Amino acid sequence: MNLSFKPMPEENINELIEKKFYSSKKFAEEIEKTVLENKGMKYIDAIIFFCEKNNVDVESVPKLVSKPLKEKLKAEAMELNLLKRTSRAKLPL
């Protein structure tokens, strides 16, 4: 019996990883989509909803949060008085 190993092309490996595991870009896109589709839903709620829906451990989320998403979460937390407001001015959106 000849069991030879053929390595997969790198692009196929990357595609498999993207499908199996979330990248921070894909995670942020999913959260943004959830917030847009559910008027009034906060980013933190969207993250929890995503985790429950996809059986993702909430404690693994910090590794997936991109810088823009982190800034939105921070602004939302300040708005909800969960974080102290910074002295930086906030542009009206």
pTM over the 0.75 mark:
no
Task: Tell me the two tokens of residue 89.
Answer: 């001015």
Q: How high is the mean pLDDT in each 10-residue block of the chain (93 residues)? A: 53 54 84 94 94 86 90 91 70 56
Give the C-alpha distances (Å, rounded to integers) separating 79 from 23, 61, 64, 86, 93. Answer: 28, 21, 23, 11, 13
Q: Which long-range contacts (CB under 8 A, 24 or more apart) does 6-11 make?
A: none
